[in-house]
């Protein structure tokens, strides 16, 4: 049997303020998922994945990623404090335990003839004006205080989201298919033309200052872990009532169509699908 496709997997990664002193193997302050700023009651639009498909390539399935975060200062031995984060991934299907947050993932498709992108006034690592070729929080407008209290784009105090690019084809609210699980958001979509698939996650960030979280019958809120049968996310919010959405992202599995040496497609037997679609700006040609 001839192999006609190869499988590949991609996942969101971006600027992470908690690794800035360490960096990864390439010296980059990059972590899994895209950080969501803490400024509350704002709808953030995160471009989780940008996938360029050629003819006969397939988007097979998607997984969702979101975390709950509690960010605080903790005392250390010499009387100083250290910034510390407690964070867990949301893995309980459909969990929506923070009444003032929401998360919605949307998949869009666009023929691959990209309009020219314009740089924005606040562009930086993982924070890009209107549209991006790599995972990022995209913005239409943003504002930063004179002295931001957090690094990178996380210190913003005002933000508006740009319109989504492409045609929405699928939408899913809350984490239904955590990317750590075997179950996946099954899509199986084969490209009929070169196209760009984007996976967005819209996040409304919560406001712990105005939130009321019941302690669920535990005196003084002590030892909430003794309550059995509650999802871990609910226990986390009981322990840390100030939790917010920390990160979101997505994971995709693709199958790339292979070609014979003469250029014929091994999936559909077409003699040739034409040259690979151009990446980036193509003002003078139309991709059918
Ligand atoms: Zn083909």
Ligand 1 centroid distance, CA of 87 (Å): 44
- Report the share of the chain in percent with pLDDT over 70: 85
Residues 6+ apart with CB under 8 A from 246: 33, 35, 36, 67, 68, 69, 71, 85, 87
pLDDT in tens, 225-282: 555 678 899 888 888 889 999 999 999 999 999 999 998 999 999 998 866 555 554 4
Ligand 1 centroid distance, CA of 254 (Å): 15
- Distance from C-alpha of 113 to C-alpha of 102, rounded to nearest angstrom: 32
Residue 226 pLDDT: 53
Ligand 1 centroid distance, CA of 79 (Å): 65
Q: Tell me if 47 sits within 8 A of 138, measured CB to CB.
A: yes
Residue 143: pLDDT above 80?
Answer: yes
Residue 283 pLDDT: 44
Ion ligand 1: residues, CB < 5 A: 56, 265, 267-268, 270
Residue 23 pLDDT: 56
Residues facing residue 249 across a β-bridge = 65
Burial class (CB in 10 A: 0-12, 13-18, 19+), 25: exposed
Residues facing residue 127 across a β-bridge = 124, 137
pLDDT in tens, 149-167: 898 999 999 999 999 999 9
Ligand 1 centroid distance, CA of 59 (Å): 14
Mean pLDDT of the chain: 86
Q: Tell me if 256 sits within 8 A of 8, measured CB to CB.
A: yes
pLDDT, mean of residues 36-50 = 97
pLDDT in tens, 193-235: 999 999 999 999 999 998 876 655 454 455 545 556 788 998 8
Ligand 1 centroid distance, CA of 188 (Å): 15
Residues 6+ apart with CB under 8 A from 104: 171, 172, 173, 174, 201, 202
Residue 178 pLDDT: 93
Residue 281 pLDDT: 47
Residue 272 pLDDT: 85
Residue 238 pLDDT: 82
pLDDT, mean of residues 83-108 = 91
Residue 113 pLDDT: 73
Residue 238, token pair as written in the block: 């009981």
Ligand 1 centroid distance, CA of 249 (Å): 30
Ligand 1 centroid distance, CA of 270 (Å): 6
Ligand 1 centroid distance, CA of 190 (Å): 10
Residue 30 pLDDT: 78
């Amino acid at each position: 049997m001839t192999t006609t496709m190869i499988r590949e997997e991609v996942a969101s990664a971006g600027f992470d303020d908690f690794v800035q002193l360490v960096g990864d193997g390439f010296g980059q302050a990059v972590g899994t998922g895209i950080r969501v700023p803490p400024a509350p009651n704002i709808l953030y639009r995160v471009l989780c994945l940008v996938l360029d498909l050629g003819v006969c390539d397939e988007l097979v399935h998607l997984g969702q990623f979101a975390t709950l975060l509690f960010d605080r200062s903790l005392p250390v031995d010499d009387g100083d404090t250290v910034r510390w984060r407690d964070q867990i991934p949301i893995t309980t299907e459909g969990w929506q335990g923070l009444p003032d947050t929401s998360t919605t993932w949307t998949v869009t498709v666009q023929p691959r003839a990209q309009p020219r992108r314009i740089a924005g006034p606040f562009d930086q690592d993982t924070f890009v004006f209107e549209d991006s070729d790599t995972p990022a929080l995209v913005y239409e407008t943003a504002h930063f205080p004179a002295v931001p209290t957090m690094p990178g784009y996380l210190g913003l105090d005002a933000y508006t989201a740009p319109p989504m690019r492409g045609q929405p084809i699928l939408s899913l609210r809350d984490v239904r298919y955590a990317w750590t699980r075997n179950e996946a958001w099954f899509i199986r979509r084969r490209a009929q033309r070169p196209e760009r698939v984007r996976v967005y996650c819209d996040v409304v960030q919560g406001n712990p200052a105005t939130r009321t979280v019941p302690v669920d019958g535990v005196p003084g809120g002590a030892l909430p872990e003794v309550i059995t049968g509650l999802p871990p996310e609910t226990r986390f919010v009981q322990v840390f009532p100030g939790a917010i959405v920390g990160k979101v992202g997505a994971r995709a599995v693709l199958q790339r169509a292979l070609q014979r040496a003469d250029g014929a497609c091994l999936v559909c037997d077409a003699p040739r699908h034409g040259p690979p679609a151009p990446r980036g700006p193509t003002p003078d040609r139309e991709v059918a």
